[in-house]
Every structure is written in structure tokens, then in C-alpha cells.
Amino acid sequence: MKLLLIGPPGSGKGTQGDRLAQRFGLAHIAAGDLLRAEVQARTPIGRAAAAYLDRGDLVPDEVVIELVVPVVIKAVEEGKGYVLDGFPRSVGQAKVARGQVEEAGATPDAVIYLDVSREELVRRILARATIEGRSDDTAEVVRNRLHVFDEATHPLVDYYRDRGLLRVVDANRSEDEVAADILAAVGDLAEG
Ligand code: AMP
């Protein structure tokens, strides 16, 4: 099973990605986690990316694509499925990545869009800020991340709908309820 998880910040991509990975033995690949690891390790990619993360802006396409796509291809080459969260974040990224993953037989089977109201997102992100202390969970940066989602990432919903890959899940509810709906939405892809 090869899945993309799309949703705004606070929609539960990380949590639901973990649950899917556990349930189906998939590699959980989170673009934000890969980027934060590079920043922490002070690699050249990390140094190039840090300011974008701090502002809540998208890291330049070539940097993210070079970081994420090889990890996806490696998972598939090792015979694993994947759940990829936080990538692509724009139609431009989707188009470039598509050519690269197609050759490796790593094209996604389905795209899950976690649809959440703005009110609920703000509530969740502020709650997470006190628990995790992420430097990009401050009010101003969160506002920018939501804006970036609307402008750059949300167009992927139509892009994947047009390609017949989109499955929308109402993610306003509890973690368990959302997880159950995601399972129902991908049930036809599960082997056995
Ligand atoms: P996330 O953990 O998914 O919320 O991502 C945290 C931050 O990492 C984002 O606000 C962006 O600055 C950066 N980021 C994550 N994924 C991408 C991507 N696909 N393209 C560009 N920037 C990204």
C-alpha cells in the first residue's frame, strides 16, 4: 500500500500516519521530520532549510525533493509500502516527484485528504504548542503555515481528485474515529 496523507497543519497527519504504518507495516515518511532532523544535525540541507521552517514557509522544492524522494524509493525497493505525510505540498512538487517515483514503481495508490475546519485546527495547534514546544507553533507562524496550506497545498486536492486518487476523510473528530474512517477509505487496498 502506497499512500499520501495531505492536510493542513494540525490535521493529524503525523498521528494518523503512525497508526497506518503500524497497522499495515508501512514505512512512515514525514517530510517535516526529515527536515527537522537535517536542521538538528546542521547538515547543508538543514542549514538551507532552517529559516523556512522557522517562518512556516515552504522549503525550496529542489531541497525537499532531493531529501524525500530517495527515502520513498528506498522503501519500495525494500519491498515495503509507505505512508508519506507532508509531501508533496504543492502541485509543482507533485509533478516533479511523479516522474522520479514512476520509474521506481513507487507511484501512490491513493491520496487521503484530512479535512478539518479552521477553528478545530487552531485549537489543536495551540494545544500541541504547549505539549511539544515546536518553534513553528507560535501564533504568527501558525497563521503563515495555514496561509501557505491554502495557497500552495490545497490545490493538490483538485489535482489528485482529477487523477482519481483522492479519498476525503472528515478529520474534525477524535483520533480513533478518524483512524477508523481512514481504514475504511483504504480497505480495498489492503492485501488480505
Ligand atoms: P510539518 O512537520 O509537516 O508541519 O512541516 C514543518 C515545516 O517543514 C513546514 O512548515 C515547512 O517549512 C517544512 N516542510 C515540510 N514538508 C515540506 C514540503 N513538502 N515542502 C516544503 N517545505 C516543507
pLDDT in tens, 64-82: 999 999 999 999 999 999 9
b/e for 146-160, b at 16 or more Cβ within 10 A? bebbeebbbebbebb
Report whether pLDDT(84) > 70.
Answer: yes
Range 9-12 contact pairs with CB under 8 angstroms and sequence separation of 24 or more: 9/121, 9/125, 9/142, 9/145, 9/146, 9/149, 10/116, 10/120, 10/121, 10/122, 10/124, 10/125, 10/128, 11/114, 11/115, 11/116, 11/121, 11/171, 12/114, 12/116, 12/124, 12/171, 12/175, 12/178
Q: What is the pLDDT of residue 16?
A: 98
Report whether pLDDT(49) > 70.
Answer: yes
Report whether pLDDT(192) > 70.
Answer: no
Q: What is the mean pLDDT of residues 35-56?
A: 97
Q: What is the pLDDT of residue 176?
A: 98
Query: What's the pTM value of the predicted model, to 2 decimals?
Result: 0.94
Q: What is the pLDDT of residue 128?
A: 82
Is 89 touching ligand 1 by the criterion CB < 6 Å? yes
Distance from residue 31's CA to the centre of ligand 1 (Å): 6
Indicate the pLDDT class of residue 139, thresholds 50, 70 and 90.
Answer: confident
CA atoms within 13 A on the CB side of 159: 16
Report d(CA 140, CA 188) in Å as an integer. Answer: 41
DSSP H helices, 26-90, are 31-40, 44-55, 61-77
Indicate the pLDDT class of residue 150, thresholds 50, 70 and 90.
Answer: very high
Distance from residue 191's CA to the centre of ligand 1 (Å): 31
- Could you tell me the CATH superfamily of domain 2-184? P-loop containing nucleotide triphosphate hydrolases (3.40.50.300)
Q: What is the mean pLDDT of residues 160-167?
A: 98
Query: Cβ neighbours of residue 87 under 8 Å, at least 6 residues apart?
Result: 4, 29, 31, 64, 68, 93, 97
Average pLDDT value over all residues in the chain = 94
Residue the block writes with cell 520509474: 103
1 three-class SS: coil
> Given strand 166-170, what is the order of strands in its sheet?
27-30, 82-85, 2-6, 110-115, 166-170
Report whether pLDDT(40) > 70.
Answer: yes
User: Given ligand 1 and candidates 35, 45, 83, which is best to mutate, with the most ligand atoms within 8 Å of its CB?
Assistant: 35
Q: What is the pLDDT of residue 191?
A: 66
Q: What is the pLDDT of residue 65?
A: 97
Report d(CA 116, CA 25) in Å as an integer. Answer: 26
The domain spans of the chain are 2-184
What the block records as the C-alpha cell of 121 is 485546527
